[in-house]
A and B are shown apart, each in its own frame.
Chain A
Amino acid sequence: MIETKTLTCVACPKGCEVTVEYEGDEIIDIKGNACPQGQSYAEEEIVAPTRILPTTIRVKNGALALCPVKTTKQIPLEKMFKAMEIIGKKEVEAPIKMGDVLIEDILGTGANIVATRDMQEKL
Chain B
Amino acid sequence: MLKVKKDLVVIGGGPAGLAAAKTAYDDGINDVMILERDFELGGILPQCIHNGFGLHHFKEELTGPEYAQRFINDIEERDIEVKLDTMVLDVTKDRKVYAMNKKEGFLEIEAKAVVLAMGCRERTAGAIGIPGTRPAGVITAGTAQRYTNIEGFVPGDEVVILGSGDIGLIMARRMKLEGADVKAVCELLPYTGGLTRNVVQCLEDYDIPLMLNHTVTAIKGEGRLEAVEISEVDENLKPIPETAKTIKADTLLLSVGLIPENELSKKADVILDDRTGGPIVNEGRETNIEGIFACGNVLHVHDLVDWVTEESQIAGAHAAKYIKDNFEKTGKCAEVKAGENVSYVIPQKIELESGDRKRIPLYMRVSTPLTAVDINLYADGEKLYSFSEPFAKPGEMISVPLAQKTLDDLDNLSEIKVDIIEKEGE
CB distance from B66 to the nearest CB of A (A): 5
Given pairs A13-B195, A65-B151, 6 additional interface contacts (CB within 8 A): A8-B196, A55-B177, A66-B149, A68-B46, A80-B177, A117-B66
Q: Check B201–A13 contact: CB distance below 8 A.
A: no
> A95 at the A/B interface (Cβ < 8 Å)?
no
Q: List 27 A-B contacts (CB under 8 A).
A: A10-B200, A10-B201, A13-B196, A15-B396, A51-B201, A52-B61, A55-B49, A56-B149, A58-B152, A66-B149, A68-B46, A68-B63, A68-B64, A80-B177, A84-B178, A98-B65, A98-B66, A116-B49, A116-B62, A116-B63, A116-B65, A116-B69, A117-B46, A117-B65, A117-B66, A117-B68, A117-B69
Query: A13 and B304 in contact (CB under 8 A), knowing A77-B205, A84-B177, A116-B49?
Result: yes
Please, how many angstroms separate the alpha-carbon atoms of A34 and B149 in the complex?
36
- B93 interface contact, C-beta 8 A: no
B183 CB–A CB distance under 8 Å: no
Contacts of B63 in A (CB 8 A): 54, 68, 70, 116
Q: Which residues of B contact A49 (CB under 8 A)?
A: 205
Interface positions, chain B 196-210, Cβ under 8 Å from A, are 196-197, 199-201, 205
Task: Using known A-B contacts A66-B150, A84-B177, determine if residue A10 contacts B51 with beta carbons closer than 8 Å.
Answer: no
Kindly state the separation between the CA atoms of A84 and B195 in the bound complex, as whole angstroms: 25
* Number of chain B interface residues as a range: 20 to 34
The minimal Cβ–Cβ distance linking A61 to chain B, given in whole angstroms, is 14
A36 to chain B: closest CB distance in Å? 16
By a CB distance below 8 angstroms, the chain A residues around B50 are 54
**Interface residues on chain A, size class:** 20 to 34
Total contacts A-B at CB 8 Å: 79
How long is the Cα–Cα vector from A12 to B54 in the complex, in angstroms? 11
A13 near B55 with CB under 8 A, answer yes
Known contacts A13-B197, A52-B51: A64-B69 contact under CB 8 Å: no
As a 0/1 sequence over residues 63 to 93 of chain A, the CB contacts with chain B under 8 angstroms (1 = contact) are 1111010100000010011001000000000
Enumerate chain A residues within 8 angstroms of B201, measured Cβ to Cβ.
Answer: 10, 51
- B385 contacts partner chain A, Cβ-Cβ < 8 Å: no
B210 to chain A, nearest CB (A): 13
A29 within 8 A of B: no
- Could you tell me which A residues sit within 8 Å of B by CB distance? 7-8, 10, 12-13, 15-16, 34, 49, 51-56, 58, 63-66, 68, 70, 77, 80-81, 84, 98, 116-118
Which B residues are in CB contact (< 8 Å) with A63? 40
CA distance A70 to B396 in the complex (A): 25
Whether the Cβ atoms of A15 and B196 lie closer than 8 Å is: yes
Q: Give A29 Cβ to nearest chain B Cβ, in Å.
A: 19
Closest residue of chain B to A98 (Cβ to Cβ) is B69
Decide: B150 and A64 in contact? CB cutoff 8 A: yes
- Encoded as 1 (CB less than 8 Å from any A CB) or 0, chain B from 355 to 392 comes to 00000000000000000000000000000000000110
Inter-chain CA distance A79–B63, complex, in Å, is 20
Q: Contact at B205–A54, with CB atoms within 8 Å?
A: no
| Chain B residues near A118 (CB-CB < 8 A) | 69
Closest Cβ neighbor of A120 among chain B residues: B40
Instruction: Name the B residues within 8 Å of A116 (CB-CB).
Output: 49, 62-63, 65-66, 69
Closest partner residue, chain A, to B391 (CB atom): A15
B392 → chain A closest CB, angstroms: 11
CA gap between A53 and B205 in the complex, in Å = 12
Task: Please report the C-alpha to C-alpha distance between residue A8 and residue B49 in the assembled complex, in whole angstroms.
Answer: 23
Interface centre among B63, B151, B205, B391 (most CB of A within 10 A): B63
